[in-house]
């Protein structure tokens, strides 16, 4: 028996759950978990995540795919089918600060995040030994010029399924995003939409907020405006200097990124417009 | 069109979701929300909550009930069917402290909690004027003896669907619980299972904890051991005296009780053994 | 023995704590609590809150005041001296939503907030009976025009020490603020600086945030830009509609406002620029 | 100029703050931060932490010490004097799970925790390569028998200032604790006092709690009863299996231990009885 995960997103219509679950039953699948969400406010969008076991000798993956494809056509759905436990290939970009990278690498080694780290790349040397310790190939990006850097990343990114910006302090250009065309997950060190752009902890300190945050989101052409996957927050006080905010925020960054990657690699995240559906 | 909520709890078996959702489709119902949970650890229990609209002129409630009853028999399920927006009748018991009562009354008035407050009863006078302001009948319980008190409560409770202990400082006896036979929701002023019994804030202070809590749970014969519906917590420090813990805990009690009542009155809570399933 | 609270704010300089505490010792005072904060980042500001008991027959309040005044002159300090337990007089403004008002009224009655509610005023009728139940005079503001409204408020506010905007949906004009000249505490229904202005819950929903908040702050001429006293946050998900955000935010509003008022009435809040110092 | 931290703990008495701060002023010190706490409930204990700069050419450390010693004798105080930024020497004990160790090692390398890791020791091999990567000597403890193990630890621990149990799954014996005689900080994987002893996540799951926690505390002879330094909590639901609780708890363990070590290494923690004072 194998375990598969199906993601379906389509206009809301009567009888959707019955049709989809009937298909799985028809294929001999046994549903382990089913989540769905319907949003009225946006004109009726339906989202479903199904986790089910199936017997590949009876229903080979190809048959699953063609069955889902047929149904998806009828209900005008976007869909994906994943085998559980098959790790996606990720490239990780990082600058000087390595705490998020260290945390992700350790979680992957401990089996807490199901993803293959194809490589770690950086415009700085700090991450090299850490990547080495965890057996991830390290690439130093060219220092001279954004175009060269992005060309290098694009070359590295060829075999990847998604990219992770684990405190990568460069803004990726619109042409790069278009060329890559797959998901890129960034960790921003503020509670978005507050404090976009540079030095968010200094901004937060200047404003005198009593709670700070970190935001993991998909990268889009609009800086710090992409769909939010996860946010973490923590209380601060007048005692905290801008440096204290950085130190406290560092933990929030790790937590938000780790939680976002967990949801993403377990295929629990849907994007639609600037919003996301993240099943528990 | 009317809206109904079905709750189903049965041993796990293949094809359950398909069968149940097919039944709703067959009855002309349109599913608005569906939640299910399967627990492997307990030998496979399946829980489902379905919210759907139906046309009572086409499928009258009686037909719904007989259809669900038939299916439930086949799959060995316990089940309930509720019409959405029909408030249950609650009796509220309270002692001297009225903050939870004030909060519940105000939420009911504002339409945030869908329940009818049949009466407020207390062994003290403090709650009388508050109940009066919100138009809830107030009953003063006899002061002399538990048996008389419980007899009075039982008499009052005849028409109720459930009871709420909103900081009621008496322990209800096993015979009372048996005689009442319906759900009773209590708010306990500690983070259970820590600090059962009397004076939990003093206990928490004595132990020097850095976080305190409050717990809303179903009442069972085992004091403070009933299934937990909701818990709320908050940081405290060495600066907080036992009185400060009481003041901070007071807010947690309100929040935990309100959240538990919201889940309960929206029919999102399942009990099984000492555990609960509380759908979001 | 009486209890007093002194607040001192001045440029940082060597030996401040020693001088100030020596003065209290000299006056026969016994320090119960002392908090201080020095901020390097702003060119060295020193903040101190002292709580001490004194014998008014030996050191009458007048002598305390003249002693503090002399010292304050020497160290170029702003200062305040309060007798503990003497409630300030507050006017409360509210619009249609009464949950924050209900919460404040109940806390004051229970003795959890030390303040006298001089009156409740509103541009709507909703709050009248609630104010009446708690014995607070209620004033209906004129409906026709901001200038008339503000003139009415100003007249009411004559004897007050501070105002509370407990979900008052009008923006107070700069002339009004200047004319009143004392502190005004507002509860804003978002996690500032995110989602200023109108309909913050809808804004939050549109942006797809995973955490919402509420902010209690001093009112200044810059809308939603005043010094923040307290913020409260809570997780939300794709399941939450804009209405759900409102319902969840309602609790955050109560909590943030109550906590801010507690700090303010216990004389634990300093304003400086757009920031605050709030001692625990 | 050097920076020093003085910790003072004594019976409460009039004029303490004035006397202590006057002493610092007399020594030419400039107070940067001062925290004090007085507890009435325990018969009047006074705790003070002073951070100040001083000129060692004018007031050498020896003179500071003798001055504080004299004062401490007069006010019957326990006291400590530390130079800021001088790291204490710590030994870390760990079993199979390395996430807390990895987190501590990375924080120390990044300069977020001021402590020297003298060695890492374990009854298992898992931590060896990680310790190696961060340049910490690794010692494998003898497998055969508690007495031998503890003798080995005691030998290693000779030059250390404190020990950290970073998920060390052995109970240290009373004779060991007596022989070592210095502070030992443990991370327990539950929200104490709930779920002491073995398998707390399974216990938490069995009880059906809605919030889990982790607790960093000083080790005493009473298992899981030592003074609590820090606690962290997180919501869970019926969806979470015992394994999910472990995974979520893992993050809480890291956070609580890191926060406790930060407070401890910054000399912000006082022990008294089963309670602690932890200044912010």
Distance set, CA D183 to CA A242, B20, D226, D265 (Å): 31, 60, 11, 12
Contact by Cβ (8 Å): A112, A187: no
How far is it, in rounded angstroms, from Cα A182 to Cα A158? 11
Answer yes or no: do B18 and A22 touch at CB < 8 A.
yes
Q: List, in sequence order, the alpha helices (H) in chain D.
A: 16-26, 61-75, 99-109, 128-133, 146-156, 174-180, 200-207, 242-265
The least confident of A38-52, B102-116, C3-17 is: A38-52
* Region for residue C181 given its phi and psi (left: phi exceeds 0; alpha: psi -120 to 50; beta: otherwise): left
Answer yes or no: do C40 and A208 touch at CB < 8 A.
no
Percent of chain B at pLDDT exceeding 90: 91
- Helix (H, G, I), strand (E, B), or coil: what is residue A226? coil
Q: What is the mean pLDDT of chain B?
A: 95
Minimal Cα distance from B23: which residue of A? A18
Kindly state whether C239 is in contact with chain B, defined as any CB-CB distance less than 8 angstroms: yes
- pLDDT of D232: 97
Q: What does DSSP say about strands B78-83 and B88-94: parallel, antiparallel, or unpaired?
A: unpaired
Percent of chain A at pLDDT exceeding 70: 99
Q: Nearest by CB to C36, which of D15, D24, D34?
A: D34
Burial of D183 (0-12, 13-18, 19+ CB in 10 A): middle
The dihedral sign for the CA sequence D223, D225, D228, D234: positive
- pLDDT of D186: 98
User: How many other CB atoms sit within 10 Å of the CB of residue A280?
Assistant: 12
Residues B74 and B100 in one domain: no
Q: List, in sequence order, the alpha helices (H) in A4-83.
A: 16-26, 61-75
Answer yes or no: do C102 and B99 touch at CB < 8 A.
no
Q: What is the mean pLDDT of chain C?
A: 95
Residues B256 and B119 in one domain: yes
Residue by residue, DSSP assigns D137-174 as -EEEPPSS-HHHHHHHHHHHGGG-SEEEESS--SPPPH
- pLDDT of C241: 93
pLDDT tens, residue by residue, B234-264: 999 999 999 999 999 999 999 999 999 999 9
CATH number, residue C76? 3.30.70.260
Tokens coding B133? 């302001």
The least confident of C38-47, C147-156, D147-156, D206-215 is: C38-47
Q: Nearest by CB to A30, which of B14, B33, B280?
A: B14
Tokens coding A19? 């049709």
Q: Which helix (H) or strand (E) holds B103?
A: helix B99-109
| Residue closest to D229 by CA, chosen among D179, D169, D181, D274 | D274
* Region for residue A14 given its phi and psi (left: phi exceeds 0; alpha: psi -120 to 50; beta: otherwise): beta
| Residue closest to A208 by CA, chosen among A241, A247, A232 | A241
- pLDDT of D49: 97
Measure CA A64 to chain center. Answer: 26
Distance set, CA C87 to CA A4, B97, C114, C162, D145 (Å): 65, 23, 5, 11, 66
Minimal Cα distance from C278: which residue of A? A238
Catalytic residue among A35, A224, A244, A280: A224
Q: Catalytic residues of C, which ones?
A: 224
User: How many other CB atoms sit within 10 Å of the CB of residue C204?
Assistant: 26
Owning domain of residue D262: 88-278
- Helix (H, G, I), strand (E, B), or coil: what is residue C195? coil
Contact by Cβ (8 Å): D67, D27: yes
How far is it, in rounded angstroms, from Cα A166 to Cα A212? 19
pLDDT of A41 strictly over 80: no
Q: What is the mean pLDDT of chain A?
A: 95
- The length of chain A in residues reads 280
> In the β-sheet with B211-218, what is the strand arrangement from edge to edge?
B138-140, B115-122, B88-94, B162-165, B183-188, B211-218, B228-235
pLDDT of B40 strictly over 90: no
pLDDT of A39 strictly over 90: no
Answer yes or no: do B251 and C255 touch at CB < 8 A.
yes
Q: What is the pLDDT along chain D (280 residues), one digit of tens a residue?
A: 899 999 999 999 988 999 999 999 999 998 989 999 998 766 789 999 999 999 999 999 999 999 999 999 999 999 999 999 899 999 999 999 999 999 999 999 999 999 999 999 999 999 999 999 999 999 999 988 999 999 999 999 999 999 999 999 999 999 999 999 999 999 999 999 999 988 999 999 999 999 999 999 999 999 889 999 999 999 999 999 999 999 999 999 999 999 999 999 999 999 999 999 999 9
Residues A265 and A173 in one domain: yes
Phi/psi of residue B20, nearest 5 degrees: -70, -45
Closest approach of chain D CAs to the CA of B194, in angstroms? 5
How far is it, in rounded angstroms, from Cα D1 to Cα D55? 5
Residues C146 and C27 in one domain: no
Distance set, CA D211 to CA B40, B49, B166, D188, D225 (Å): 21, 23, 21, 15, 21
Mean of pLDDT values over A54-77: 95
pLDDT of B41 strictly over 90: no
pLDDT tens, residue by residue, C171-212: 999 999 999 999 999 999 999 999 998 899 999 999 999 999
- pLDDT of B69: 97
Compute chain C's Rg from CA coordinates: 21
Answer yes or no: do C233 and A211 touch at CB < 8 A.
yes
Kindly state whether A211 is in contact with chain B, defined as any CB-CB distance less than 8 angstroms: no
Kindly state whether B34 is in contact with chain A, defined as any CB-CB distance less than 8 angstroms: yes
The dihedral sign for the CA sequence A263, A268, A271, A275: negative
Closest approach of chain C CAs to the CA of A196, in angstroms? 10
How far is it, in rounded angstroms, from Cα C278 to Cα C265? 12
- Domain count of chain D? 2
Q: Which helix (H) or strand (E) holds C247?
A: helix C242-265
Measure CA D132 to chain center. Answer: 24
Mean of pLDDT values over B151-171: 97
- pLDDT of C40: 74
Q: Which of C83, C101, C117 is the last residue before a domain boundary?
A: C83
Q: What is the ipTM of this complex?
A: 0.94
Instruction: Give the side-chain half-sphere CA count within 13 A for B48.
Output: 32
Kindly state whether C96 is in contact with chain B, defined as any CB-CB distance less than 8 angstroms: no
- Chain B neighbours, 3+ Cβ pairs < 8 A: A, C, D
Instruction: Give the side-chain half-sphere CA count within 13 A for C91.
Output: 21
Answer yes or no: do D255 and A250 touch at CB < 8 A.
no
How far is it, in rounded angstroms, from Cα D149 to Cα D169? 13
Residues D44 and D100 in one domain: no
Beta bridge partners of B11: B45
- Chain C neighbours, 3+ Cβ pairs < 8 A: A, B, D
pLDDT tens, residue by residue, C23-34: 999 999 989 899
CATH number, residue D204? 3.40.50.170
Kindly state whether D213 is in contact with chain B, defined as any CB-CB distance less than 8 angstroms: yes
Answer yes or no: do B21 and A21 touch at CB < 8 A.
yes
Q: What does DSSP say about strands A45-54 and A2-11: parallel, antiparallel, or unpaired?
A: antiparallel
Residues D26 and D162 in one domain: no
Answer yes or no: do B21 and A24 touch at CB < 8 A.
no
- pLDDT of C144: 83
Residues A122 and A102 in one domain: yes
pLDDT tens, residue by residue, B116-136: 999 999 999 999 999 999 999
pLDDT of C238 strictly over 70: yes
> In the β-sheet with A183-188, what is the strand arrangement from edge to edge?
A138-140, A115-122, A88-94, A162-165, A183-188, A211-218, A228-235
Residues B151 and B230 in one domain: yes
Residues C97 and C77 in one domain: no
Reported as a pLDDT band with limits 50, 70 and 90, residue C53 is very high
Contact by Cβ (8 Å): B68, B81: yes
Distance set, CA D17 to CA A239, C20, C32, C35, D20 (Å): 21, 10, 10, 11, 5
Q: Which of D83, D115, D135 is the last residue before a domain boundary?
A: D83
Q: Which of D83, D113, D139 is the last residue before a domain boundary?
A: D83
Kindly state whether A61 is in contact with chain C, defined as any CB-CB distance less than 8 angstroms: no
Burial of D97 (0-12, 13-18, 19+ CB in 10 A): buried
- pLDDT of B258: 98
pLDDT of A261 strictly over 70: yes
Contact by Cβ (8 Å): D97, D61: no
- pLDDT of B42: 62
Tokens coding C89? 């007089």
- pLDDT of D223: 86
pLDDT of A40 strictly over 90: no
Kindly state whether B130 is in contact with chain A, defined as any CB-CB distance less than 8 angstroms: no
Residues D239 and D149 in one domain: yes
Residues D105 and D206 in one domain: yes
Contact by Cβ (8 Å): A130, A105: yes
Tokens coding B199? 């004076």
| Residue closest to B165 by CA, chosen among B224, B111, B249 | B224
Kindly state whether A238 is in contact with chain C, defined as any CB-CB distance less than 8 angstroms: yes
Catalytic residue among D224, D240, D251, D280: D224
Residues D113 and D240 in one domain: yes
Kindly state whether B166 is in contact with chain C, defined as any CB-CB distance less than 8 angstroms: no
Terminal Cα-to-Cα distance of chain A (whole angstroms): 24
The least confident of A33-42, B175-184, D13-22 is: A33-42
How far is it, in rounded angstroms, from Cα D164 to Cα D185? 5
Q: Nearest by CB to D211, which of B191, B227, B229?
A: B191
């Amino acid at each position: 028996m194998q375990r598969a995960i199906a993601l379906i997103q389509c206009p809301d219509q009567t009888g959707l759950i019955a049709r989809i679950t009937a298909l799985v039953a028809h294929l001999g699948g046994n549903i382990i978990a089913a989540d769905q969400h319907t949003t009225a406010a946006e004109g009726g969008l339906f989202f479903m995540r199904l986790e089910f076991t199936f017997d590949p000798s009876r229903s080979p993956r190809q048959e699953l795919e063609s069955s889902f494809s047929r149904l998806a056509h009828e209900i005008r759905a976007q869909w994906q089918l994943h085998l559980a436990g098959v790790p996606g290939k990720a490239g990780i970009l990082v600058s000087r600060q390595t705490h998020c990278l260290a945390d992700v690498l350790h979680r992957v080694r401990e089996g807490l995040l199901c993803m293959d780290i194809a490589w770690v790349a950086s415009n700085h040397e700090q991450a090299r030994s850490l990547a080495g310790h965890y057996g991830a190939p390290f690439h130093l990006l060219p220092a001279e010029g954004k175009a060269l850097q992005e060309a290098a990343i694009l070359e590295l990114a060829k075999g990847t399924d998604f990219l992770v910006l684990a405190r990568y302090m460069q803004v990726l250009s619109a042409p790069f995003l278009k060329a890559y065309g797959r998901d890129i997950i960034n960790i921003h060190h503020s509670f978005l939409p507050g404090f976009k752009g540079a030095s968010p902890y200094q901004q937060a300190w200047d404003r005198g907020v009593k709670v700070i945050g970190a935001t993991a989101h998909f990268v889009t052409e609009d800086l710090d405006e992409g769909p939010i996957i996860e946010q973490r927050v923590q209380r601060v006080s007048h005692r905290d200097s801008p440096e204290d905010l950085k130190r406290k925020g560092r933990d929030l960054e790790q937590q938000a990124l780790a939680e976002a990657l967990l949801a993403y690699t377990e295929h629990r995240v849907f994007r639609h417009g600037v919003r996301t559906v993240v099943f528990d």
